[in-house]
C-alpha cells in the first residue's frame, strides 16, 4: 500500500476533527430584536489557498456572529477565516445573538481538496509513525526522566508546585499505561491493563466512574487515587493536532480519553517540546499539568565516559579528564561542570579539555563531573585523597579559633553597620572571584563608607559573652579590594555606651597588597595596648596579658576601611571573620 492509499484510508474511515479555540459563552446583548432564521445568512468564499476560506455574515439583522466552523474551531466576528484540510463535508453553523434571544443557521460545505502536506507534517508523523505505521504508534510515560509529571499555576509554564522524580509513581499502575495514535482513522486508544492512577483532587475519578471507564478504587490519598478500569467504556476516540499562534495542540475527541496521567483537565494538550521519541505536553484546568511521554520500548541514548583523575608532579595538583567520551549524534553538550569537592568548580563545553585543579588542604575530596546535554545530566564521581597541605597553604583557623561569620552558611554572630558619623552600607553579595585560594565561597560581604571618617562594620557578641584573649590572640578576616587601602580591626567594650571608644584597642591595620585579589588579613593583639591615660580611665600596654582586658571584657569587633579618611567613597569585600573561641556560643 503506497503513501497516498494509507492517507486516503485515514480520510475514508473518519474525518479529521480540527480543534482550535474554546467555545465562548456570551451574555445576550441589547442590540436589537431577536433574529429569525429567514434573516440569517452567510457566504463562503475562497481564501489565500485551496484550504482556507473566508466566511462572512450577511444577515439582514444586526447581532453578534458566533461560528462553529465544523472543523472544531469556534470563532466570533462578522468575517472569519477557516482552514479545511480534508476532502469531506463540513457543517458550518452561524449563531447570531441579539436582544431577546439567538438563532442559528447551518450550511454544508464540501471540501474537494486534501492538504497532503498537513497529513505528512513532521509532528503528525512523529506522533503516529506516519504512513509507515498503519497500526499507529504507542506511547508510555517517560518514567525515568525528571519532571515526567508535574503541576504548577495555570498562568505559568513550570511545574513549580510539584515535579515527579524518576519513578515517583512506582507501584501505582501508571507506568504500564499505553496511549496509541493512529494516522489511519485518526483513532486513539488507551490500554491501562485493568488498573491506573488518576487525579482525585481534580475529580478525574468522578468523571471516569460516571462514564464507566473507571470501575472502583482500591487506594487513595488527598491528591490521587488508584482505580480499576474498563477501557472499552471510553468509546470510540479520535485525536487531532492544531496550530494556534505558533503553538501545536493535541486534542482528544472526548473527556474519556486522556494522555498520560489523567489530571481531569480538558483534553487539549499544548506541545511544549517534541521529536520522534519524545513529547512534552501541558494541559490547563484549575492548574497547569505537565506530561512527558516516549514511544513504548524506547531506550534513551546516553552519553558515556570515564572520569580520570590523575596526580601531576606539582604539589596537590590533579588533572581531570573525560576519557572514552561517546556522544550520540542526537545530543549536543551544553555544559560540563567539574565540582572538585572543596567548594570550587569549573565549567566548560569542551569534552576534550583536560582540567587542572590544586588542593590547598589535606583531606579526602568527593569530586563530581556533570555533563549536561539535551536537558539531561550524566554524572560521574571520584574521590581524591590529598595527603598534606599545600606548601603555600596558610592555616586559617588556628587553635582555639572559631568562625564568627562566613556571610553564607555560618553566622554565629551577625555583622552590622555603624554610620554614626556618616553614611555606610553592608550587603551580602556574590563572591567577585571564587576561583582561587584562599576564598572559594559563593558569597561574601561588601562594606562601603561614604565621606565618613569612622564608619565601620561591627560584630557584637550576645549579652553575657566576651572574647577570651588568654587562649588565642589572633583575629582574621579575608579582604578583597584596592591595593593600598587600609583595613583596621579593633576591639571595644560597649558596656560604656557612648564612651566605648575609650576602651578600644590601639590601631591594628592591614594594608591591601593587590588589586582585586583575596588576601588574609591577620590581626594579632599580643603586645597591643588599649585605652589612653589622658582619658583618665582604664588603659593598658597589652590587652592579652592584663587581666582587666584579656577575659570577660571585650564584646565588639569593629572593622574600618581607610580610617580617618572622609574624602570619598571606599569599599572592601569581607569574608570569613574569625577569632578566639567563645565558650558556650553556638
Q: Is residue 406 part of a domain?
A: yes
pLDDT of residue 34: 82
* CA–CA dist 511, 491 (Å, integer): 18
What 3-state class would DSSP assign to 75?
Answer: strand
Same domain flag for 467 and 370: no
CATH assignment of the domain containing 51: 2.60.40.10
CATH assignment of the domain containing 458: 2.60.120.260
- Residue among 113, 138, 115 at smallest CA distance from 127: 138
Same domain flag for 434 and 575: yes
Same domain flag for 321 and 452: no
* CA–CA dist 264, 286 (Å, integer): 9
Which of 114, 139, 174 is at the close of a domain?
114
Same domain flag for 310 and 287: no
- Residue among 502, 554, 555 at smallest CA distance from 533: 502
Q: Is residue 392 part of a domain?
A: no
- Residue among 335, 365, 349 at smallest CA distance from 440: 365
pLDDT of residue 237: 93
CA distances from 121 to 58, 85, 116, 272, 514 (A): 36, 12, 8, 17, 63
DSSP letter string over 321-363?
Answer: EEEEEE--TT--EEEEEEE-SSS-EEEES-TTPPEEEE--S-E
Cell numbers describing residue 447: 562594606
pLDDT of residue 212: 97
Using the structure block, give the residue that is written with the C-alpha cell 556574590: 430
How many other C-beta atoms lie within 10 A of the C-beta of residue 511?
Answer: 12
Strands (E), 125-170: 137-141, 149-152, 162-163
Strands (E), 493-568: 509-511, 519-524, 556-561
Residue 555, preceding peptide bond in cis (omega within 30° of 0): no
- H/E run at residue 12: helix 3-13
pLDDT of residue 496: 82
Using the structure block, give the residue that is written with the C-alpha cell 509513525: 129
The dihedral region occupied by 268, where left means phi > 0, alpha psi between -120 and 50, and beta the remainder, is beta
Which of 259, 275, 295 is at the close of a domain?
295
Q: Is residue 396 part of a domain?
A: no
How many other C-beta atoms lie within 10 A of the C-beta of residue 500?
Answer: 15
Same domain flag for 217 and 249: yes
- What do you get for the CA distance between the two ends of the chain, in Å? 79
* CA–CA dist 484, 348 (Å, integer): 35
- The secondary structure of the chain in percent helix, strand, coil, rounded to multiples of 5, reads 10, 45, 50
* CB-count exposure of residue 25 (10 Å: 0-12, 13-18, 19+): exposed
586 residues of the chain, pLDDT tens digit each:
455 554 555 554 444 444 333 333 444 444 456 899 999 999 999 999 999 999 999 999 999 999 989 876 778 999 999 989 888 899 999 999 998 899 999 999 999 998 888 888 999 999 999 988 999 999 999 999 989 999 999 999 999 999 999 999 999 999 999 999 999 888 999 999 999 999 998 889 999 999 999 999 999 999 999 999 999 999 999 898 888 888 999 999 899 999 999 999 999 999 999 999 999 999 999 999 999 999 999 998 899 999 999 999 999 999 999 999 999 988 999 999 999 988 788 999 999 999 999 998 888 999 999 999 987 889 999 999 999 989 987 776 667 778 888 887 777 888 999 877 778 999 999 999 987 778 888 899 999 999 999 999 999 998 888 999 998 999 999 999 999 999 999 999 988 888 888 899 999 999 999 999 999 999 999 999 998 777 667 899 999 999 999 998 999 999 999 999 999 999 999 999 999 988 655 4
What 3-state class would DSSP assign to 4?
Answer: helix
Cell numbers describing residue 51: 484550504
Query: CB neighbours of 8 closer than 8 A, spacing ≥ 6?
Result: none
Total number of domains in the chain: 4
pLDDT of residue 585: 54
DSSP letter string over 20-70?
Answer: -SPP---PPP-SSSPP-GGG--EEEEE-SSTTEEEEEE--SS--EEEEE-S
DSSP letter string over 458-484?
Answer: EEEPPTT---BTTT--EEEEEEES-TT
* CB-count exposure of residue 267 (10 Å: 0-12, 13-18, 19+): buried
DSSP-derived letter for residue 76 is: E
User: Contact at 8 Å (CB) between 77 and 106?
Assistant: no
Q: Is residue 47 part of a domain?
A: yes
Q: Is residue 444 part of a domain?
A: yes
Sheet containing strand 363-373, strands side by side:
345-348, 333-339, 363-373, 376-386
Same domain flag for 255 and 320: no
Same domain flag for 337 and 413: no
Same domain flag for 68 and 208: no
Same domain flag for 59 and 10: yes
Same domain flag for 484 and 556: yes
Which of 242, 260, 295 is at the close of a domain?
295
The dihedral region occupied by 101, where left means phi > 0, alpha psi between -120 and 50, and beta the remainder, is left
Q: Are strands 288-295 and 149-152 parallel, antiparallel or unpaired?
A: antiparallel
Same domain flag for 328 and 280: no
List residues bridging with 55 in a β-sheet: 44, 80
User: Contact at 8 Å (CB) between 452 and 529?
Assistant: no
Domain assignment of residue 314, given as a range:
304-386
Q: Is residue 279 part of a domain?
A: yes
* CA–CA dist 207, 188 (Å, integer): 19
* CA–CA dist 463, 450 (Å, integer): 30
Q: In this structure, what are the phi and psi dihedrals at residue 97, rounded to the nearest 5 degrees?
A: -100, 130
Q: Is residue 391 part of a domain?
A: no
* CA–CA dist 144, 292 (Å, integer): 10
Q: Over the range 132-164, which residues count as b (16 or more CB within 10 Å of their CB) and which as e?
A: ebeebbbbbbbbebebbbbbbeeeeeebeeebb
Q: Is residue 586 part of a domain?
A: no
Same domain flag for 55 and 131: no
Amino acid at each position: 500500500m503506497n503513501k497516498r492509499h494509507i492517507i486516503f484510508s485515514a480520510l475514508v474511515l473518519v474525518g479529521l476533527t480540527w480543534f482550535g479555540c474554546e467555545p465562548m459563552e456570551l451574555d445576550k446583548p441589547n442590540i436589537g430584536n431577536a433574529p429569525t432564521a429567514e434573516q440569517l445568512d452567510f457566504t463562503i468564499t475562497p481564501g489565500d489557498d485551496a484550504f482556507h476560506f473566508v466566511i462572512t455574515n450577511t444577515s439582514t439583522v444586526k447581532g453578534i456572529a458566533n461560528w462553529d466552523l465544523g472543523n472544531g474551531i469556534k470563532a466570533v466576528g462578522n468575517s472569519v477565516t477557516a482552514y479545511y484540510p480534508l476532502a469531506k463535508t463540513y457543517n458550518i453553523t452561524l449563531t447570531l445573538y441579539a436582544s431577546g434571544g439567538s438563532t442559528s443557521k447551518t450550511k454544508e460545505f464540501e471540501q474537494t481538496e486534501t492538504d497532503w502536506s498537513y497529513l505528512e507534517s513532521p509532528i503528525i508523523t512523529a506522533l503516529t509513525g506516519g504512513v509507515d505505521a498503519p497500526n499507529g504508534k504507542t506511547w508510555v510515560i517517560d518514567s525515568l526522566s525528571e519532571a515526567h509529571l508535574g503541576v504548577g499555576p495555570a498562568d505559568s509554564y513550570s511545574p513549580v508546585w510539584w515535579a515527579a522524580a524518576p519513578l515517583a509513581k512506582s507501584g501505582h499502575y501508571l507506568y504500564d499505561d499505553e496511549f496509541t495514535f493512529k494516522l489511519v482513522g485518526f483513532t486513539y486508544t488507551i490500554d491501562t491493563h485493568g488498573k491506573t492512577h488518576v487525579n482525585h483532587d481534580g475529580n478525574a475519578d468522578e468523571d471516569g466512574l460516571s462514564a464507566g471507564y473507571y470501575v472502583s478504587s482500591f487506594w487513595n490519598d488527598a491528591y490521587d487515587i488508584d482505580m480499576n478500569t474498563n477501557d472499552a467504556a471510553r468509546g470510540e476516540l479520535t485525536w487531532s493536532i492544531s496550530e494556534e499562534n505558533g503553538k501545536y495542540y493535541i486534542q482528544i475527541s472526548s473527556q474519556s480519553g486522556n494522555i498520560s496521567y489523567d489530571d481531569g483537565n480538558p483534553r487539549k494538550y499544548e506541545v511544549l517540546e517534541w521529536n520522534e521519541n519524545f513529547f512534552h505536553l501541558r494541559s490547563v484546568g484549575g492548574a497547569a499539568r505537565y506530561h512527558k511521554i516516549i514511544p513504548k520500548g524506547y531506550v534513551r541514548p546516553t552519553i558515556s565516559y570515564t572520569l580520570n583523575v590523575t596526580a601531576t608532579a606539582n604539589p596537590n595538583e590533579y588533572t581531570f579528564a573525560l576519557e572514552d567520551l561517546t556522544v550520540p549524534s542526537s545530543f549536543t553538550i551544553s555544559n560540563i561542570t567539574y565540582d572538585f569537592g572543596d567548594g570550587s568548580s569549573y565549567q566548560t563545553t569542551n569534552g576534550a579539555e583536560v582540567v587542572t585543579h590544586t588542593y590547598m588542604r589535606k583531606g579526602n575530596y568527593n569530586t563530581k563531573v556533570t555533563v549536561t546535554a539535551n536537558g539531561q545530566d550524566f554524572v560521574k564521581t571520584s574521590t581524591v585523597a590529598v595527603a598534606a597541605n599545600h606548601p603555600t597553604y596558610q592555616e586559617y583557623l588556628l587553635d582555639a579559633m572559631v568562625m564568627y561569620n562566613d556571610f553564607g552558611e555560618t553566622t554565629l554572630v551577625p555583622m552590622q553597620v555603624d554610620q554614626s558619623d556618616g553614611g555606610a552600607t553592608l550587603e551580602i553579595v556574590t563572591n567577585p572571584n571564587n576561583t582561587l585560594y584562599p576564598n572559594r565561597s559563593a558569597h561574601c560581604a561588601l562594606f562601603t563608607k561614604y565621606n565618613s571618617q569612622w564608619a565601620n562594620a561591627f560584630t557584637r557578641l550576645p549579652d553575657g559573652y566576651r572574647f577570651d584573649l588568654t587562649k588565642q590572640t589572633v583575629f582574621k578576616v579575608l579582604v578583597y579590594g584596592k591595593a593600598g587601602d587600609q583595613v583596621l580591626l579593633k576591639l571595644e567594650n560597649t558596656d560604656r555606651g557612648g564612651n566605648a571608644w575609650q576602651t578600644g584597642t590601639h590601631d591594628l591595620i592591614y594594608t591591601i597588597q593587590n588589586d582585586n585579589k583575596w588576601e588574609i588579613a591577620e590581626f594579632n593583639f599580643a603586645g597591643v595596648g588599649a585605652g589612653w591615660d589622658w582619658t583618665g580611665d582604664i588603659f593598658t600596654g597589652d590587652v592579652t596579658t592584663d587581666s582587666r582586658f584579656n577575659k570577660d571584657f571585650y564584646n565588639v569587633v569593629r572593622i574600618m576601611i581607610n580610617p580617618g579618611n572622609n574624602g570619598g567613597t571606599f569599599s572592601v569585600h569581607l569574608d570569613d571573620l574569625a577569632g578566639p573561641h567563645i565558650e558556650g556560643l553556638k
